[in-house]
Amino acid sequence: MKTESQIQALILKFLRALAPACWVIKAAVCNERGVPDILCCYKGRFVGFEVKTAKGRISGPQRVQNERIRRACGRAVVVRSVADVRVVLEHIDKETTDDTDEHGKKEPRMDTNKH
C-alpha cells in the first residue's frame, strides 16, 4: 500500500503536467490546521485535495477547513489516487463546457466576489 506522501507525489506530478490550465501547490506547514494537502486552481475553479490512504480518515480540523472552502464556493475533496483527482477534474471540464455558448465561446461568469 502506498503512503500518503507517495500518493501526493503522484497527484502533484499529474496536476503539474496539466499546466497552464492547472496551477498547483503542495501545502506544507500552514498557519491554520487542516488546510488540504494540495491546493489547485484548474480552469478557474479552486480545489483543495486532502490526500489519504485507502484506510485514512480526515481529522476534525480538516473537516472544518473543507467546509470553509465549500462555503466559499470552492471544492474540497478527499482523494486516494490520481484516478480520484481525474474524476474531480472531469466534473470541472463538464462545467466549463457548459459555460460556453453555441459558438464554443466562453459565457461571461458572474463575479461573486464583488464588494
Domain 4-98 classified CATH 3.40.1350.10? yes
pLDDT of 113 over the 70 cut = no
State the average pLDDT over residues 39-59. Answer: 96
- Sign of the torsion formed by the C-alpha atoms of 48, 49, 52 and 54: positive
Cis previous bond, 20, omega within 30: yes
Give residue 86's pLDDT band: very low, low, confident or very high (50, 70, 90).
very high
State the average pLDDT over residues 56-75. Answer: 96
If we measure between CA atoms, which residue out of 4, 85, 68, 2 comes closest to residue 34? 68
Domain ranges of the chain: 4-98
Q: pLDDT tens-digit profile of 7-40? A: 999 999 999 999 999 999 998 767 789 999 999 9
pTM for this predicted structure:
0.82
End-to-end alpha carbon distance in the chain: 48
Q: What's the CA angle centered on 73, arms 70 and 79, to 5 degrees?
A: 45
Mean pLDDT of the chain: 88
